[in-house]
Amino acid sequence: MAPDYERAAEMLEGARKVVVFTGAGMSKDSGIDTFRGPGGIWERFSAQDLATYEGFIRDPAKVWMWNEARRQQVAGLTPHAGYVSLAEMEGLFPQVVTVTQNIDGLHARSGASQVVELHGNIWKVRCDAEDNEPWLDERTELPEYPMHCDNCGGLLRPHIVWFGEPLDRKDILDANLAVEDCDVILVIGTSAIVYPAAGFPLLAKQRGAKVIEINIEPTPVTEYADLSLFGTAEEVLPALVVELKRRKGDGD
Ligand code: APR
């Protein structure tokens, strides 16, 4: 069935606060593989080795090399048209907050102004020994594997939430604040099975928000979504913004 853009635009009409909740499928059309499904990252690489603290301690050099390769990939790509459309939506509603599970930083790079990165950011590092605030390190050629702290000599780690690790408390708070009184939540490109992040769309629904899902296939969100638009983020989001602008009378 073709995506019902008119119905989606109707649901969004008059919304004061919109939450954009994204997962790996949002970046698929820019060339970054998703984690699950055919050809997914966790089919080809070991999550145990590369995305757990135990794996990091076992072989920190391996984890840094893998993350360096991912940094190089992200640095070399361009956010697709769907990202640009999301940034444009900020001009159509009083408040748009992006809550993402992605670590690639593409939302901010394409102009999103308020972004909560629930699973961290591949461009940030922190000292594992000192447990201090993360800082930005945008190098794509790392000086050593593994990286060490200039201050204490301890291991530096990517500022990424690995399996079994808690989310940052401030991020949880910010995501809750965004979700609890939003009018509409757009749930884009996530399998919605990794908790606690996957709980935010349902929380929004329980608080009275309309849930619009954008995905290439059904997910657990589909069961309670008010509307599912099946298609890729790259095709669905620009078409949705065209419809929103048309209704506002400033379509191009
Ligand atoms: N457009 C929209 N959705 C897509 C597209 C696309 N072009 N391609 C794939 N998808 C959908 C898939 O159908 C799937 O539902 O994106 C989703 C990707 O799911 P996952 O790979 O499980 O990614 P995500 O939900 O972000 O995973 C959550 O798991 O491994 C951890 O920490 C990692 O943040 C990640 C978390």
Pocket probe mutation, ligand 1, options 35, 52, 85, 229, max atoms within 8 Å of Cβ: 35
User: Could you tell me the distance, in angstroms and rounded to a whole number, from the CA of residue 98 to the centre of ligand 1?
Assistant: 16
Q: What's the whole-number mean pLDDT along residues 176-193?
A: 97
Alpha helices in 76-143 (DSSP H): 81-89, 106-109
Give, in order, the Cα–Cα distances in Å from 175 to each of 57, 63, 74, 170, 198.
Answer: 30, 28, 24, 8, 12
Cβ-in-10-Å burial (0-12, 13-18, 19+) of 144 comes to exposed
Which protein residues touch ligand 1 with a CB less than 6 Å away? 23-25, 28-29, 34-37, 40, 101, 119, 189-191, 194, 215-217, 219, 232-233
Q: Is the dihedral of CA 232, 234, 240, 242 positive or negative?
A: negative
pLDDT digits (tens, 9 = 90+) for 6-42: 999 999 999 999 999 999 999 999 999 999 988 899 9
Instruction: Assess whether pLDDT exceeds 80 at residue 203.
Output: yes
Say what the pLDDT of residue 1 is. 76
Instruction: Assess whether pLDDT exceeds 80 at residue 251.
Output: no
Report the candidate in 195, 134, 138 with the shortest Cα–Cα distance to residue 164: 195
Atom of ligand 1 at shortest range from CA of 35: 21
pLDDT digits (tens, 9 = 90+) for 223-250: 999 999 999 999 999 999 999 999 988 6
User: Could you tell me the distance, in angstroms and rounded to a whole number, from the CA of residue 84 to the centre of ligand 1?
Assistant: 19
User: Could you tell me the distance, in angstroms and rounded to a whole number, from the CA of residue 71 to the centre of ligand 1?
Assistant: 19
pLDDT digits (tens, 9 = 90+) for 113-166: 999 999 999 999 999 999 789 999 999 999 999 999 999 999 999 999 999 999
The Cα 99–Cα 73 span in angstroms is 22
- Residue 97 near residue 118 (C-beta atoms within 8 A): no
Give catalytic residues, as residue numbers.
119
pLDDT digits (tens, 9 = 90+) for 72-110: 999 999 999 999 999 999 999 999 999 999 999 999 999
pTM over 0.95: yes
Say what the pLDDT of residue 132 is. 86
Rama region for 249: left / alpha / beta (φ>0; ψ in -120 to 50; rest): left
